[in-house]
Structure 1
Amino acid sequence: MRFRGKLVDVGCVANFTRVLNTIAKLTKTCTLHLSSDKLYFIVSDRAANGGVTIWCELVQNNFFDEYQMDGLSVEFNEIYLDIPPDSIARALKTAQSAKSVKIKLTKKHCPYLTLDVELASLLSHSRVVTHDIPVQVVPQQLWSDHKEPAVPDFDVSIYLPPFKTLKSVMDKMKNLTNFMVVQANQSGEMNLEIDTELVSVTTYFKDLGNPPWASVNWSQDRCHGRDPKAMAQAKVDTKKLLQFVAGQQINADKAVCNIVDKKLLHFILLHEDVTLQYFLPAVTM
């Protein structure tokens, strides 16, 4: 197996760094799936992560000037690696003014992702800072554990308010309870609610808009015939929800929340170069 990629454009390096920073805020370990045309950052170990699932998809030619990948075999031309996203994000901090960043799979006494960061220099020769980050190769028999999760058959789909606004609201609520109820309907309304023995607080959002999913291939069967004012809701872990909201650095063009009533929140961040999905299961109400 071989992998080698090179980022040259400063904007591409910055975008790639923001993706890694976002993933690092959500999980300590994830799986990097390399294919000939895309990269995926995946968290699918549901038992170990409290039910949270993450699927982040990048089109490689939107980031890399050079990209070479030879997978396990001609038939299975893919590579799966368990990686520490925080370590890669820290290495990329040195690359914000770099002339180029090379990322390659190497093997010394164990597999590494090696980052060669070429820094600009006043001298005639460039300086290269090398970061060796230990990784683990995922055997082929476990690849099926890292497939793209199915889009849920949701009851409500709604655009999210700005993340800065959501974070401000949640920061005020987080110390009052461990759980928060997210409600929304097909009329562009969303509520964040906490209810304890001592206090009840609800924040209301209006005119958010609902995605026109009828124009794409995602199911909207459960939305048809539903009262547009009827609220779907999910009670979720406040810490995990705030972790997702506070950790975003992708600058998504659109951010969507799908709600499976009393079962699941499914968030989608859509960017020109990146798509990130975050699945947060509901707790018993």
Structure 2
Amino acid sequence: MRFRAKISDAGCLAHFSRAVATVAKLAKACALRLTAERLVFVAGARGAAGGARLWCEVRQGNVFDEFQMEGAAAEKNEIYLEVTPENLSRALKTAQNAKAVKIKLTNKHCPCLTVAVELPSLSSTSRVVTHDIPVGIIPRKLWNDFSEPSVPDFDVSIYLPALKTMKSVVERMKNLSNSIVIEANLNGEMNLKIETDLVCVTTHFKDLGNPPWGSQKSSQERDLETMAEARIDIKRLLQLLAGQQVNPTKALCNIASKRIVHFILLHEDVSLQYFIPALV
């Protein structure tokens, strides 16, 4: 079982660091799934994280200059590791001005992801800062626990408003309630609602647009004005909005009424999916 990768481009390094930092904000522990084409951070696969699930995928082709891996099982060339994403994020933060960063699976008293940061130097000799991050090896019999979550049949798919705006709204609302209702329709309208015995507050967003792949089937079965809604934990939503650093070029959510809200953030070679189950 071997893994070795290298990033030399400053932009790619910053992009990867932001993706890891986002994962670290959303999960204290996760699985890191390594394949020949991608790295995937998986959290909440076995009911952790308060029911929320995370799937963050980094396609390695345009990010890493070198990427070599050899899995433990010949029939399935993959490696599954238990990692603390905050430790990896901290190591990458020391690499902001690095000439190159190498990441390698090593065994130093225990399995580790060794991050070697090559820093610029005034002399001809490079300075290298090394971080050894302990990891756990996930056995083959548990790999199915970390497969990609299936997306439920949703009632509405809608593009999100500017995430900074949405974050600002939710931050104000969290002082009023522990839960928030997200509702949207196939006419590009979305509402964020707080409903308590004392107060009802609603923020309306219009003309957001609906992804065509999400609305083709549903639009034939549903009235465009009909709202799909789900009540979710407001802290989970704010955790996503406050923690994301990938600066997505596309952000959308799928709502399965009274069941789940599925968020998707896309930016170049990184995609992040976050599933928040509806509260009863």
Q: Same fold judged by TM-score > 0.5?
A: yes
CA distance in 1, matches of 2:48, 2:224: 37
1:56-71 equivalences under 5 Å are 56-71=56-71
Q: Distance in 2 between matches of 1:45 and 1:223?
A: 32
Counterparts of 1:60 and 1:130, CA distance in 2: 22
Deviates more, 1:269-278 or 1:91-100: 269-278
The aligned residue for residue 42 of structure 1 is: 42
Partner Cα separation in structure 1 for residue 168 and residue 44 of structure 2: 29
1:96 partner amino acid:
Q
Contact 2:117–2:129 (CA under 8 A) maintained in structure 1: yes
Counterpart code for 1:230: T
Map 1:213-224 → 2, pairs under 5 A:
213=213, 221-224=217-220
Whether contact under 8 Å (2:178, 2:235) holds in the other structure is yes
- Structure 1 unaligned spans of 5+: none
> 1:199 & 1:41 partners in 2: Cα distance?
39
Q: Which residue, 232, 235, 254 being the options, matches 2:231?
A: 235
Kept in 1, the 8 Å contact 2:46–2:145? The answer is: no
Query: 1: CA distance between counterparts of 2:183 and 2:2?
Result: 47
TM-aligned CA deviation for residue 77 of structure 1: 1.1
User: 8 Å contact 1:155–1:223 — kept in the other structure?
Assistant: no
Mapping of 1:246-261 within 5 angstroms?
Answer: 246-261=242-257
1:277 partnered with 2:264: no
In 2, Cα distance between equivalents of 1:45 and 1:11:
31
Comparing 95-104 and 245-254, the one that deviates more: 245-254
Check conservation: 1:194, 1:201, Cα contact below 8 A.
Answer: yes
- Which residue does 2:118 correspond to in 1? 118
Aligned counterparts, 1:45-194, within 5 A: 45-194=45-194
Q: State the Cα distance separating 1:75 from its structure 2 match.
A: 1.4
Encode CA deviations 1:67-91: one digit per residue, 9 max, x unaligned: 1101013212110001000010011
Q: Is the aligned partner of 1:30 residue 2:30?
A: yes
How far, CA to CA, are the matches of 2:64 and 2:51 in structure 1? 33
Deviations 1:140-182 (A, max 9, x none): 0000000011122100000000110011101111111100000
Using the size of structure 1 for normalisation, the TM-score is 0.96
What SS is found at the alignment partner of 1:28?
A: coil
SS of residue paired to 1:61 = coil
The sequence identity of aligned pairs, in percent, is: 60
Deviates more, 1:166-175 or 1:41-50: 41-50
Partner of 1:196: 196
CA distance in 2 between partners of 1:43 and 1:61 (Å): 23
Unaligned runs of 5+ in 2: none
CA distance in 2, matches of 1:248, 1:98: 23
How far apart, in 2, do the equivalents of 1:156 and 1:48 lie?
26
Report if aligned partners of 1:153, 1:221 keep a CA contact under 8 Å in 2.
no
Q: Measure how far apart 1:223 and its partner are.
A: 4.2
Please say which of residues 219-228 and 121-130 is displaced more in the overlay. 219-228
**Offset at residue 66 of structure 1 (A):** 0.6
Q: Distance in 2 between matches of 1:90 and 1:263?
A: 36
Cα displacement string for residues 81-129 of structure 1 (whole angstroms, at most 9, x for unaligned residues): 0100001001111101100000000001110000000000111111000
Alpha-carbon distance in 1 for matches of 2:218, 2:80: 35
Q: How many pairs were matched up?
A: 280
Give the CA RMSD over aligned residues: 1.2
1:6-43: CA deviation from partner (whole Å, max 9, x where unpaired): 00000010000000010000000011000111111111
